[in-house]
Amino acid sequence: MTTITPLAIPDVLLITPKRHGDARGWFAETWSRKALLDGAGIEPVFIQDNQAFNAQKGTIRGLHFQKGPHPQAKLVRCLRGAIYDVAVDIRQGSSTYGQWVAATLTAEVGEQLFVPRGFAHAYCTITDDAEIAYKVDGLYAPQCEGGLLWSDPDLAIDWPVDLDAVITSDKDKILPRLRDLPAVDFTPG
């Protein structure tokens, strides 16, 4: 049976599918609409799968989000290696606005993180050769993409790597801080 654990921000869920193993290896049901609906009362409709490879430990991708009319929820898992996965609540009026939660996701155990719409998302590789797969419930819409600076001191995310050696994109280095982010509408169109 899949284990679903709400994090400190209860809309963000750590999902750990049960693995059934024998001498051949193991089998796991990595996505089950029924498990998420029955276990957490949510029913996302995923329409796209994405996959990313990161060669070096200390790579940070994010903090990214997609606003309305094309917001995205994500279900993230690690296929190889391990990552530190982070979600920041940027829903205006939320009691947890500006707070973040994180979980370590490993290929070895198969944990997944459900990141709902209205959250900025990032991950940091904590091993070399980390491979990530994630489902989204909305198509990529470049006109709706946004982000926050991964190193925003107001967020004070406790990244598990040497911050002086972080590898990130030029685009992610110049994203705004939370305090400079205008109100974001996550209403689907």
Active site residues: 64, 134
| 31 vs 110: CA distance, rounded Å | 11
Name every residue whose Cβ is closer than 8 Å to that of residue 92 and which is 6 or more positions away in sequence. Answer: 183, 184
Neighbour-count burial for 49-71, b at 16+ CB within 10 Å, e otherwise? eeeeebeebbbbbbbbbbbbebb
Query: Are the C-beta atoms of residues 148 and 120 closer than 8 Å to each other?
Result: yes
